[in-house]
Amino acid sequence: MIGKDLIKGMIRPIVLHLLLRKEKMYGYEITQLVREETGGKINLSLGALYPVLHKLEAEDILETSTEAVDNRLRKYYMLSKKGRKTALSKTEEMYEFLDALQGFCRPSTTRNP
Amino acid sequence: MSIGPSTIERIRKALEQQGIRNRYIQSELCDHIACDMEHMMDQGFGEEEAWNQALAKNRGEEIRTTARQYQGILNSRYYRVKLFLWVTFGMFAVSWLFSFRTGQFMSAVSFMAMGATLILLSLDFFRSRRHHPSNIWLGAGSLLSALLVMSGFILFFLVVNYGVNTRGHSVDLMIFSYVLFSLVAFFYFSRQRRLALESSGSSSYKWFVIFSAAQLFLAVLSFLSLPLYAWAADYIWILIWVILAVDLLSLALLIFLRIRNMIFFVLLALSFMITFIHSPVRRLLPAGEPPAPTQVAVDTGIDPHALRLLSFHQTVSP
pLDDT at site B120: 92
The answer to whether residue B8 neighbours chain A at the CB level (below 8 Å) is: yes
pLDDT at site B128: 76
Give the mean pLDDT of A72-93. 89
pTM: 0.68
C-alpha closest to that of B176 among B151, B157, B158: B151
Contact A70 B2 (CB under 8 A): yes
Residue B290 pLDDT level (bands cut at 50, 70, 90): low
- Domain residue extents for chain A: 4-103
Q: Which of A82-91, B30-39, B70-79, B86-95 has the lowest mean pLDDT?
A: B70-79
The answer to whether residue B75 neighbours chain A at the CB level (below 8 Å) is: no
pLDDT value at B308 more than 80: no
Give the mean pLDDT of B65-92. 84
pLDDT at site B102: 59
Q: Residue B283 to residues A64, B99, B164, B268: CA-CA distances in angstroms? A: 49, 12, 20, 21
Mutate to test the interface with B, among A8, A24, A70, A77 (most CBs of B within 10 A): A70
Contact A58 B77 (CB under 8 A): yes
Q: Report which secondary-structure segment, H or E, holds A29.
A: helix A27-37
Those residues whose C-beta lies under 8 Å from the C-beta of residue A107, and which sit 6 or more positions away, are none
Contact B130 A65 (CB under 8 A): yes
ipTM reported for the complex, 2 dp: 0.86
- Please state, in angstroms and rounded to a whole number, the distance separating the CA atoms of residues B27 and B67: 11
Tell me the longest C-alpha to C-alpha distance in chain B. 92
User: Residue B73 is nearest to which of A46, A54, A72, comparing CB atoms?
Assistant: A54
Query: What rounded mean pLDDT belongs to chain B?
Result: 81
Alpha helices, DSSP H, located in B199-261 = 205-224, 229-232, 236-257
pLDDT value at B309 more than 60: no
Give the mean pLDDT of B193-205. 64
Name every chain A residue with its beta carbon within 8 A of the beta carbon of B195: 66, 68, 73
Give the mean pLDDT of A95-111. 76
pLDDT value at B110 more than 80: yes
- Domain residue extents for chain B: 5-70, 78-311
pLDDT value at B201 more than 60: no
Where is mean pLDDT largest: B69-73, B85-89, B192-196? B85-89
- Convert the pLDDT of each residue in A8-46 to its tens digit: 788 899 999 999 999 899 999 999 999 999 888 888 888
If one compares B179 and B69, the residue with the highest pLDDT of the two is B179
Mutate to test the interface with A, among B199, B200, B202, B203 (most CBs of A within 10 A): B199
Coil, helix or strand at residue B23? helix
What are phi and psi for residue B175, nearest 5 degrees?
Answer: -70, -35
DSSP line for B117-146: HHHHHHHHHHHTTTT-TTHHHHHHHHHHHH
Does 1.10.10.10 match the CATH number of domain A4-103? yes
- Convert the pLDDT of each residue in B1-21 to its tens digit: 788 888 888 888 888 888 887
- Convert the pLDDT of each residue in B136-177 to its tens digit: 999 999 999 999 999 998 888 888 777 778 777 888 899 999
The answer to whether residue B134 neighbours chain A at the CB level (below 8 Å) is: no
The answer to whether residue B131 neighbours chain A at the CB level (below 8 Å) is: yes
pLDDT at site B293: 46
